[in-house]
Amino acid sequence: MYRESLPATWTVQAGGRRYDVSSDPIVSRLRNAERNIEDRGPQLKQAGDYFSALAAEAASFPAGPPESTGSARVKLDAILAGSEYAHLQRQSWWDRLRARFNQMLFNALVRILQQVGGQRSLASALLWIAICAAAILIAYWIFRRWFQAARMGEIALESAAVPARSWQEWVFTAREAAGQGDYRMAIHCAYWAGIARLQELGALSPDRSKTPREYLRALGKSKPIAAEAAVDRRRALSTLTSQLETTWYGYRRATEADFQDTLSRLEDLGCNL
């Protein structure tokens, strides 16, 4: 029978390559035609169509040997020699390495996004994580701006609410607070003792609405009573201002040594302790 005479595979050589074509599709259709007489015509027609498809596929292969890689390289060099690819010839090894790295990074990112896109649950989770992170950053930025504005308002209000006392009264209150172990309050009172002393000497105007930094700038612009004491006064007030900002406004823990240093700065400002 024709079916039994068919080989298991046909070996075809085309274009310098070898292909093994199985005869199972034809054998199965011939077997069905033998078993089912009513369906013999369609089965034989399908077998013939398969033969025709194989013949057409074989005819599409090139008759001669494949083109050598040398000639392909020549064509590629000719294409790259064009003006539109001139910038590639001027690239250094570092530029080529960087371009290759960027391409690898881009391909990895594309693969990750493709995997995420195929998993809706993971994509939704990443989306919600990004939304939550953005909301936290916005809330942090708003809270920080609000805290800074509130701190500046607190500084201005506290400066305006400072009662009018003499520098001696401020020093007495500072020592009383230090005796109770509240060195933060002691440094606060000692600072205002220095401001009151400078106002008494005429180096600062009696304006209680100024902030500590504004008092420091005002002292640098004022005309001191004794020119030789101007540098010492500004240095002493600058130290007092820094101590006040770090302990009173910055809530840093103050010690007895900090308070004693504050008293020495008051001496430089003209307070006879």
Tell me the pLDDT tens digit for each residue of 28-43.
Answer: 777 777 777 777 788 7
Q: Tell me if 193 sits within 8 A of 174, measured CB to CB.
A: yes
Query: Does residue 176 belong to any structural domain of this protein?
Result: yes
Regarding whether 221 and 152 lie in a shared domain, the answer is no
% of the chain surpassing 90 pLDDT: 17
Q: What pLDDT sits at residue 12? A: 72
Average model confidence (pLDDT) across the chain: 76
Regarding whether 147 and 188 lie in a shared domain, the answer is no
Across 24-51, b (16+ Cβ under 10 Å) vs e yields: eebeebbebbeeeeeeeeebeebbeeee
Q: What pLDDT sits at residue 48? A: 78
| 75 compared with 246, residue with greater pLDDT | 246
Which residue from 198, 199, 232, 237 is spatially nearest to 216, judged by alpha carbons? 237
**Secondary structure (DSSP) of the chain:** -HHHHS-SEEEEEETTEEEEEE-HHHHHHHHHHHH-STTHHHHHHHHHHHHHHHHHHHHHS-SSPPPPHHHHHHHHHHHHTSGGGHHHHT--HHHHHHHHHHHHHHHHHHHHHHHHHH-HHHHHHHHHHHHHHHHHHHHHHHHHHHHHHHHHHHHHHHHHT-----HHHHHHHHHHHHHTT-HHHHHHHHHHHHHHHHHHHTSS-S-TT--HHHHHHHHHHS--SSGGGHHHHHHHHHHHHHHHIIIIIS-PPP-HHHHHHHHHHHHHTT---
Query: Does residue 110 belong to any structural domain of this protein?
Result: no
Q: What pLDDT sits at residue 161? A: 47
Regarding whether 264 and 194 lie in a shared domain, the answer is yes
Regarding whether 198 and 138 lie in a shared domain, the answer is no
> Beta partners for 18?
13
Query: Does residue 109 belong to any structural domain of this protein?
Result: no
Residues contacting residue 250 through CB under 8 Å, at least 6 positions apart: none
Regarding whether 264 and 168 lie in a shared domain, the answer is yes
Regarding whether 191 and 152 lie in a shared domain, the answer is no
Query: Does residue 149 belong to any structural domain of this protein?
Result: yes
Domain count, the chain: 3
Regarding whether 200 and 253 lie in a shared domain, the answer is yes
Choose one of 60, 77, 97: the last residue of a domain: 60
**Domain of residue 10, residue span:** 2-60
Residue 120 has pLDDT above 60, yes or no: no
Question: Which whole number is the average pLDDT over 196-211?
Answer: 83
| 163 compared with 192, residue with greater pLDDT | 192
Choose one of 15, 30, 60: the last residue of a domain: 60
Residue 222 has pLDDT above 70, yes or no: no
Q: What pLDDT sits at residue 47? A: 75
Regarding whether 247 and 177 lie in a shared domain, the answer is yes
Query: Does residue 95 belong to any structural domain of this protein?
Result: no
Q: What pLDDT sits at residue 228? A: 60
Regarding whether 187 and 131 lie in a shared domain, the answer is no
Query: Among 147-156, 207-216, 224-233, which range has the highest average pLDDT?
Result: 207-216
pLDDT, tens digit, 9 for 90 and up, residues 132-176: 788 888 888 887 777 666 565 555 545 444 557 888 999 999 999
Regarding whether 261 and 219 lie in a shared domain, the answer is yes
Q: What pLDDT sits at residue 119? A: 54
pLDDT, tens digit, 9 for 90 and up, residues 75-113: 777 776 666 555 555 666 777 787 788 888 777 766 766
Query: Does residue 180 belong to any structural domain of this protein?
Result: yes
Question: Which whole number is the average pLDDT over 238-263?
Answer: 91
Question: Which whole number is the average pLDDT over 225-234?
Answer: 70
Query: Does residue 77 belong to any structural domain of this protein?
Result: no
Regarding whether 147 and 167 lie in a shared domain, the answer is no
Query: What span, in angstroms and rounded, lies between the C-alpha atoms of 58 and 10?
Result: 12
Regarding whether 188 and 131 lie in a shared domain, the answer is no
Which residue from 212, 104, 110, 89 is spatially nearest to 158, judged by alpha carbons? 212
Choose one of 143, 158, 173: the last residue of a domain: 158
Query: Does residue 26 belong to any structural domain of this protein?
Result: yes
| 183 compared with 49, residue with greater pLDDT | 183
